[in-house]
Structure 1
Amino acid sequence: MASALGWLDHDANAQAKTLDILALFQQKESRDELGIGAIRDSFAEQLFPGTSTIQTRLRYMLFVPWIYQRLENKRISAANFGIQADRDERALIIPLSKLEEDSAGTFGKNSREKLKRLPSSVYWSGLRRWGIRETSCSQEEYHRRVDELYRMRREMNEREYQEKNRGDMGDTSSYKPPQSWHSSLPAPPPNFPNGATFALTRQEASFLRDRIQVSCKGSLLAWLTLHSEPADVSSPWEHPDYARFPDELKELLTHARLFSYAMHGAALLYNYLLAKERADNDLLSQHHDSFVAWFNALPREDIAIWSLDHMWILTAGPDYSISQKTRRFVEQWIDLIRQASGALLTSKEACALIRAREIALKGPRSRFKNRRALEQWSGSAGTLRLVYRWNNVQIVLKDLAQGLRREEC
């Protein structure tokens, strides 16, 4: 039986999600003010596994393992491993920032030495989801226990050597040393990280596409990387190849689309109520117009026959716990949409629902209860329509397609 490195760390996934959430709070339109993030993330992860809204360029999926693999090859001790990894990741900023036409997406391009979150922490979960990272532990645990990894490899090599000398070779697969990274990971360029670019070689692109196909079967991400060219559209359900999508993906997208349309209105009403609370007439007018435009564009017939029971089945899963209170809030809001004849913005029931939901989530920090919190409101929070990481996924698909078309030197 082959050896496997699988340090137990129950908090690794939770930690990655927490870091993602903290980063999202820096983006006002992405904030989950009404507690629907678990539903949003369930759709997003089923459609585009391993991606996130704070990932930038696809080649970071190789930059990170290249850095760590090189440190392992040098046998950098646990005491210095994290420090050296930090230095090597920051060293990427300089060559990537110098790219004249393709520096977009460079971590630390503007903040430089003040960069707080390194690419490795942003891509750590995705590397595991795509099967590029084979160790299941958290990043910090990996740093702390790398000496144990070296010891396990050394013992395995010594055992193989001794048994070869005795002529007692059994199943050779049992001598496979534990690995942190996929065995077919392409080698980095000879001068890496100097001269680093975001341009994937064809070999690198093929490797990443294969990882997606194996690890993300049945997802829209896997289908698009194999059957479609990149498309510049504002949401996945507007893709020009939508008619060719497998039926199960079209069904999932139908629910994701209707959820996006419906909950967009709840976010707009929330901001309208805050503008009213702050007596800001300019913002009040702005959010009033946005809500009216949303209401007039609603796909009413689709929402009228939408099966929420089926949506709950599709979004259920161990990684995304959707509480009964959240379900009830969503169901009540959609019932109000279905019943509304045009006066939803002034509906006492609708306004009370939004207020009660935010107060229940935030308690004394509620902007309806806390004047300081209201004053700190930027004027717009969570007002972009949900597209389930699509903007970032389009960059992934474009980088991949360009790599697959590239002629090898």
Structure 2
Amino acid sequence: MSSIGWIDFDEKERERAQRLMQLFTEQEARDELGLGAIRDSIADHLFPGTSTVQTRLRYMLFVPYIFSRLPRERSSREIADQIRNDQLRLRDALVAGDEKSGVIGVNAGPKLKRLPASVYWAGLEAWGIRRFSGSIDAYVASLPSWPRNTGKDHDDDDHGAGRTVPTPWHPRLPKPPKDMLEKTSFALSDEEAGFVVDRLVDSNPDSLLAFLAKNDLRAKSEHIWSHPHLSSFPKRARGLVEHASIFSDVMYGAALQYNLLLSQLRKNEQWIEDYSKEIRKWQQYFDLTRLKAWSIEGFWEEIRHPAHRVQDPTRRFVTEWTDLVRTSSAFKRGSSKAHSLVKDRERRLKKAQSRFTNRAARDRWQGSSGAYRLQFRWSQASRHLEDLARG
């Protein structure tokens, strides 16, 4: 029986581990072929601070609003209870405000486990809204030691030069609405919208997300590479989007192949027919000329990110699959090389739990695993941009 243990390192390591465990439950983390590090590297370059479990932009303000009003005189347990209760009250206030989409925990009731703070905590630091560098538990534990006048960073005004008071939140964080925990909505005020744009531009000036937010270039495109303003993107961002598009297209074929092979082992005729049809469509519309002109060496260089390490076996798998597609070998019906490459990759990742070798694991398979084109969190980023534009 497998289990997850806890190793008590410093706060940075702890927060990194928490983020990793959160990724296992995110929808786009169904990573049967081990492409997660590449996917997240690209997503963090383009849309830093986002995650696939984020819903609406104003949570980036609701969370610091709740934390900035916490009492300092109570015990850590009492403070933690207030944090939870206030987030549950926020959920009810959003429902009272007639919000029907994106309310975290709307159906979970008091037993809600994933609270907004845990979903947005990392993003708040990435956007420069949270200045306290540590976990939520560390924040609660350190709260009594914070100075009383942390609401103002005196280095930011003309009357207190040299008298810096550390603050866990950005000093220009807007004041929370008075009725926030009674009745509220996801509509940002003008001040809130301006604050968010400023934080994005200050913290991630070269990101595509900051560019889109600053220039109000929202769009309802299915993928970022079909954005109507693609030609106006900054050069580096445009190059990353091109890399993302090609990578998504070429590896979609591997994902379909994986699902087809399992369907054949399960002898499910409907699944076999569905995936065979999808593979034919992929072959028909795949731009082989563009792939042949693609520099995979340039791809590896451009997607490098300090928070994600792409292991050598992953590089080899992607490179070998790409070579197969380039030579049209992956397009051939019953290609033994394509089959072997996908099978070997999954076996090495899952080991004893490989669906190709473990009958019980294969019988538990429900007919679909990662059979989609990667989006690199564009759906979350585009929703945030829509919310921002309404502000």
Q: TM-score, normalised by structure 2?
A: 0.91
What is the deviation of 1:175? 3.8
1:268-327: CA deviations, max 9, x gaps? 111001101111111111111111111211111110011111111111232110011100
Task: Show the counterpart of 1:9.
Answer: 11
How has the CA–CA distance of structure 1 residues 63 and 347 changed in structure 2, closer, same or farther, with 3 Å as cutoff? same
Q: Distance in 1 between matches of 2:165 and 2:296?
A: 49
3-state secondary structure, aligned to 1:251: helix
Q: Report the more deviating stretch, 328-337 or 89-98.
A: 89-98
Is the 1:231–1:239 Cα contact (8 Å) retained in structure 2? yes
Separation in 1 of the partners of 2:278 and 2:101? 31
Q: Pick from 20, 24, 27: which aligns with 2:22?
A: 20
More RCO (CA 8 Å, sep 6+)? 1
State whether structure 2 residue 313 is matched by structure 1 residue 316: no
In structure 2, the residue matched to 1:63 is 62
User: In the TM superposition, what are the counterparts of 1:137-156 in structure 2 within 5 Å?
Assistant: 137-147=134-144, 149-150=145-146, 153=147
Separation in 1, partners of 2:255, 2:266: 17
Give the Cα–Cα distance (whole angstroms) in 2 for the partners of residues 23 and 199 of structure 1.
28
Aligned with 1:301: secondary structure? helix
Alignment of 1:325-336 (within 5 A): 325-336=313-324
Aligned ranges for residues 357-372 of structure 1 at < 5 Å? 357-372=345-360
1:348 is the counterpart of 2:336: yes
1:114 and 2:111 correspond: yes
Alpha-carbon distance change, 363 to 378 in structure 1, aligned in 2, over 3 angstroms: same
Offset, 1:138: 1.4
Which residue of structure 2 lines up, in the alignment, with residue 41 of structure 1? Answer: 40
> Could you tell me how far 1:172 is from its partner in structure 2?
4.6
Q: Which whole-Å CA distance do the structure 2 matches of 1:12 and 1:142 have between them?
A: 13
Rounded to whole Å, the distance in 2 between the matches of 1:390 and 1:83 is: 34
Q: Which residue of 2 aligns with 1:3?
A: none
- SS for the counterpart of 1:317 is coil
Q: Which moved more, 1:108-117 or 1:172-181?
A: 172-181
- Equivalent residue letter for 1:17: R
How far apart, CA to CA, are the structure 2 residues paired with 1:325 and 1:257? 22
Q: Secondary structure at the match of 1:145?
A: helix
1:88 counterpart (80, 86, 89): 86
Larger Rg: 1
Is the partner of 2:117 in helix, strand or coil?
helix
Q: Which string of whole-angstrom CA distances, capped at 9 and with x for unpartnered residues, describes residues 168-215 of structure 1? A: xxx955543321111000001112211121110011011001101111
Aligned position for 1:77 = 75
Q: Give me the whole-angstrom Cα distance separating, in 2, the residues matched to 1:301 and 1:77.
A: 64
Partner of 1:306: 294
Per-residue deviation, 1:81: 1.7
User: For 1:152-163, what aligned pairs fall within 5 Å after superposition?
Assistant: 153=147
Q: Is the contact made by 1:44 and 1:389 (CA closer than 8 Å) also made in structure 2?
A: yes
Q: 2:101 corresponds to which residue?
A: 104
- Aligned match of 1:261: 249
Cα distance between partner residues in 2 of 1:308 and 1:13: 32
Structure 1: stretches of 5+ with no match in the other structure: 1-7, 157-170, 404-409
2-structure distance, mates of 1:65, 1:154: 17
Deviation readout 1:18-74 (Å, 9 max, x if unpaired): 2431321xx3x64111001000001001000101111000000011001100004x5
> Comparing 224-233 with 55-64, which one deviates more in the overlay?
224-233
Cα drift, residue 154 of structure 1: 5.9
User: Is the 2:97–2:184 Cα contact (8 Å) retained in structure 1?
Assistant: no
SS in 2 for 1:346: coil
Q: How many aligned positions are there?
A: 376
Q: Which whole-Å CA distance do the structure 2 matches of 1:174 and 1:354 have between them?
A: 60
Amino acid at match of 1:9: E
Q: 1:191 to 1:342 in 2, by over 3 A?
A: closer
**Aligned residue number for residue 161 of structure 1:** none
- In the alignment, which residue of structure 2 is the partner of 1:128? 125
Contact 2:325 2:331 in 1 (8 A): no
Provide Cα deviations, 1:317-363, integer angstroms capped at 9, x if missing partner: 32110011100000000001011167445111110110110010011
Mapping 1:188-227, distance limit 5 Å: 188-227=176-215
Deviation at 1:374, TM superposition (A): 1.2
Return the offset for 1:365.
Answer: 0.9
Q: How does 1:288-307 map to 2 (within 5 A)?
A: 288-307=276-295
Q: Is the 8 A contact 1:79 1:144 kept in 2?
A: no
1:72-102, Cα deviation, whole Å (9 max, x unpaired): 4x544323221210111111111212343x3
Alignment-derived partner of residue 406 in structure 1: none
Amino acid aligned to 1:234: E
Partners of 2:362 and 2:194 in 1: CA distance = 50
Q: Secondary structure at the match of 1:71?
A: coil
In 1, the alpha carbon distance for the partners of 2:168 and 2:192 equals 18
CA distance in 2, matches of 1:260, 1:130: 27
Contact 2:249 2:286 in 1 (8 A): yes
Q: 2: distance between equivalents of 1:44 and 1:183?
A: 28
Q: Distance in 2 between matches of 1:297 and 1:130?
A: 38
RMSD: 2.1
Stretches (4+) displaced over 4 A: 171-174
Letter in 2 for 1:373: A
